[in-house]
Amino acid sequence: VRRQSKSADLSTDHLVHSRDPRQIERMFDAIAGRYDLMNRIMTFGQDGHWRTLAVTAAALKSDARVLDVAAGTGDLAIALARSVGPTGEVIGIDISTRMLDLARVKAAGLPTRFQVQDVLQLEPSGDFDAVTIAFGLRNLADRAEGIRRMAGALAPAGRLVVLELTPVTGRLARLIRLYEQQIIPLMGSLIAGRSQAYRYLSQSVEASVNRGEIGRLLADAGLIDVRSKSLALGTVALVWATKPSAPG
């Protein structure tokens, strides 16, 4: 048993650093059925509130066109679609077919479309009023390229909004790490039957970018007026910025 868990550690270690899209896709395909339930339990029901704050940060008009990257089972896309109303449109993209299958069912009747698409291959359409990504940035093999691609999809004056789990520092760090590294994989095993995927989650958070670094990625991609908010004892960052308006 010990040898087995050691090899699981080694493979999640590897994935945290390679973030190989094929393996990430397989992992999310495998946990899709229990993904929403795990989110509710792990976050003590707070994840919906964080997504609501992300929708507010996107500052949408009622007919806005929005691209939700790494849309997963669609919770943020659905909240965005309710905000833009029937004259708007939300396109959700993801590399996991099974996550998107669930999103399509949940979003039935809302102005949404879901497509299998890797954000790292996204063309610079320059026509979305807002681009969002929730809990997806840390999974990208090249996070700076992901942000550049998202910025390229924005229309002038459009908003890019990033919601992400971030590594913890400060007085509560040991307690929070204990929760993320021991309790969450245990829950993942009991509820989703996938302790490895949830061990990946905690390891990938630890190895990920913090709120300031996300802000710098947005600025480096040419976005301006970078703002951010720290949520949930510093474990979640909401960062948003604007694409400059076209000159003249």
Ligand X SMILES: C[S@@+](CC[C@H](N)C(=O)[O-])C[C@H]1O[C@@H](n2cnc3c(N)ncnc32)[C@H](O)[C@@H]1O
Which residues of the chain form contacts with ligand X (CB under 6 A)?
21, 24-25, 28, 69-72, 75-76, 93-96, 99, 118-120, 134-136, 139-140
CA atoms within 13 A on the CB side of 112: 29
Q: Are 237 and 162 in contact (CB under 8 A)?
A: yes
**Alpha carbon of residue 102 to chain centroid:** 16
User: Tokens at residue 141, please?
Assistant: 């093999």
d(CA 73, CA 69): 12
Q: Are 215 and 239 in contact (CB under 8 A)?
A: yes
Report, in Å, the least distance between residue 21 CB and ligand X.
Answer: 5
Residue 16: how many CB atoms within 10 A of its CB?
A: 20
The DSSP call for residue 5 is: H
Nearer to ligand X, 28 or 240 (CB): 28
Nearer to ligand X, 89 or 94 (CB): 94
Nearer to ligand X, 18 or 245 (CB): 18
Report, in Å, the least distance between residue 246 CB and ligand X.
Answer: 27
d(CA 75, CA 90): 12
Residue 128, helix vs strand vs coil: strand
Nearer to ligand X, 28 or 128 (CB): 28
Report, in Å, the least distance between residue 159 CB and ligand X.
Answer: 17
Report, in Å, the least distance between residue 6 CB and ligand X.
Answer: 26
Q: Which residues contact 248 (CB under 8 A, 6 or more apart)?
A: none
Report, in Å, the least distance between residue 141 CB and ligand X.
Answer: 7
Report, in Å, the least distance between residue 171 CB and ligand X.
Answer: 27
d(CA 19, CA 24): 7
Nearer to ligand X, 70 or 160 (CB): 70
| Chain residue at closest Cβ approach to ligand X | 72
Nearer to ligand X, 76 or 176 (CB): 76
d(CA 80, CA 74): 10
Report, in Å, the least distance between residue 186 CB and ligand X.
Answer: 19
Nearer to ligand X, 89 or 118 (CB): 118
